[in-house]
Amino acid sequence: MQTLYDKANIFLAGYHSETGRDGLSSRLSAVEEEIRRSGTYVHTPDELTFGVRVAWRNSNRCIGRLFWKSLTVEDKRNVTGSAAVMEAIASHLTLATNGGRIRPVITVFPPRRPDGVSPVRIWNKQLIRFAGYRQADGQVIGDPAQLEFTGVCQAMGWKGEGTGYDVLPVIVQCEGSGPELFPLHPSLVMEVNLTHPSHEWFAALGLTWHALPVISDMVLEIGGILYPAAPFNGWYMVTEIGARNLGDADRYNMLPVIAERLGLDLRDRSVFWKDRALIVLNEAVRYSYERAGVTIVDHHDASDQFMKFMRNEERSGRDVTADWAWIVPPMAGSALAVFHQAFHNEVKTPNYFYNHDAWKEEKSISKCPFHADSLKHGEK
């Protein structure tokens, strides 16, 4: 098993090699002494910036890696206390939303200590998500994927309005205190109401989605150091909203509704009603976001961008690893260049790893290579 120093050595050697910096030997000596003395070491600001960007570059399940060098890093490793953490989160949302011209941003809070304690933990899987409410008849108002977390928020005293698009609060837990709930001020959440360029009836569906996707429950690993609170964002791909969030049968399930409005017979599969409704829904997403001035990319452009990323990496002498099932968008399949690529799904570090739900007791070790359990704590 690699020790913490071994992991630090590999990371720092890569950092010095790619950036052309001198002083690797002296830096490794200092890190070795720091680990011997304290059981851990501290990344310099430049090491942290390099690490989070390479973690994006190594993210096997992300199609948007062409822009990995553009990631803005907000170093909040000195921030403690839930109120201060929430202030940093609010700053992240404002900086990243940027009036609709989305910036890729990551905010890095204190790392996990050698004793395994996480000074900061954000309970939300994404900073912005809509609540889900189970009705007496079994139907769900809102997002079915958020039923459990909505229940967690309600148990802590939060009460939504019961609409299909109630923005959930953020739950922050800091060392030495219980979880605290913070409603998001409306000014922090930019939303886009969906309309269609040629179907006037579409607006009456009342569909909306938020502008900014911010992953907030993954563990950032850099050179053996784990950062359990490091929310990060890019921008949406059209199909993430249209084909998945609003289109999936176990999410907002809008395809039958749209197909009926199109006058299609849902009993007749030969008319491809799901496919035709899917096209209309994704047309509406792209049209509405572009009309609102919100950064978004469609699946065709995203595929082309990933192919450019692959060429860039090949020129740099690096192999591109990827999870094919995640890289290929949920529409157009073989019409996209990425569909015809074969990838090794090797997990490289630095990287972002899944964490167990903060409100659940961790009982078992995940065998998923993309889970934080696959990372073993380094030894002195």
Q: What is the mean pLDDT of residues 282-291?
A: 98
pLDDT over 50 (residue 378): no
Query: Given 240, 273, 283, 286, which residue is catalytic?
Result: 240
Model confidence pLDDT, tens digit, residues 113-172? 999 999 999 999 999 999 999 999 999 999 999 999 999 999 999 999 999 999 999 999
What pLDDT, on a 0 to 100 scale, did the predictor assign at position 361?
Answer: 74
pLDDT over 70 (residue 89): yes
Residue ranges per domain, the chain?
42-129+167-356
Give the helix/strand (H/E) hosting 108: strand 105-108
Cβ-count burial of 325 within 10 angstroms (0-12 exposed, 13-18 middle, 19+ buried)? Answer: exposed
Model confidence pLDDT, tens digit, residues 58-83? 999 999 999 999 999 999 999 999 99
pLDDT over 50 (residue 286): yes
Model confidence pLDDT, tens digit, residues 221-230? 999 999 999 9
* 124 vs 362: CA distance, rounded Å: 16
* 142 vs 241: CA distance, rounded Å: 14
Q: 171 φ, ψ to 5°?
A: -110, 125
Q: 258 φ, ψ to 5°?
A: -65, -40
- 1: confidence class by pLDDT, cuts 50, 70, 90: confident
pLDDT over 50 (residue 21): yes
Enter the tokens of residue 93: 């949302």
Cis peptide bond prior to 213, omega within 30° of 0: no
pLDDT over 60 (residue 365): no
Query: Given 27, 53, 57, 65, which residue is catalytic?
Result: 65
Q: What is the mean pLDDT of residues 97-108?
A: 98
* 260 vs 265: CA distance, rounded Å: 7
* 75 vs 49: CA distance, rounded Å: 9
**What's the pTM?**
0.95
What pLDDT, on a 0 to 100 scale, did the predictor assign at position 368?
Answer: 66
Contact partners, residue 365, CB within 8 Å, separation at least 6: 373
Q: 119 φ, ψ to 5°?
A: -60, -30
What angle, rounded to 10 degrees, do the helices at 24-38 and 4-19 form?
150
What pLDDT, on a 0 to 100 scale, did the predictor assign at position 95?
Answer: 98
On the CB side of 317, CA atoms within 13 Å amount to 3
Model confidence pLDDT, tens digit, residues 295-319? 999 999 999 999 999 999 999 999 9
- 374: confidence class by pLDDT, cuts 50, 70, 90: low
**DSSP 8-state assignment for residue 336:** S
65 is a catalytic site residue:
yes
* 54 vs 16: CA distance, rounded Å: 13
Q: What percent of the chain has pLDDT over 70?
A: 95
18 is a catalytic site residue:
no
Pair 13, 24: CB distance under 8 Å? yes
- 377: confidence class by pLDDT, cuts 50, 70, 90: very low
Quick one: fold of 42-129+167-356?
A: Nitric Oxide Synthase; Chain A, domain 1 (3.90.340)
Query: Given 27, 62, 112, 286, which residue is catalytic?
Result: 62
What pLDDT, on a 0 to 100 scale, did the predictor assign at position 277?
Answer: 98
What pLDDT, on a 0 to 100 scale, did the predictor assign at position 140?
Answer: 98
68 is a catalytic site residue:
no
161 is a catalytic site residue:
no
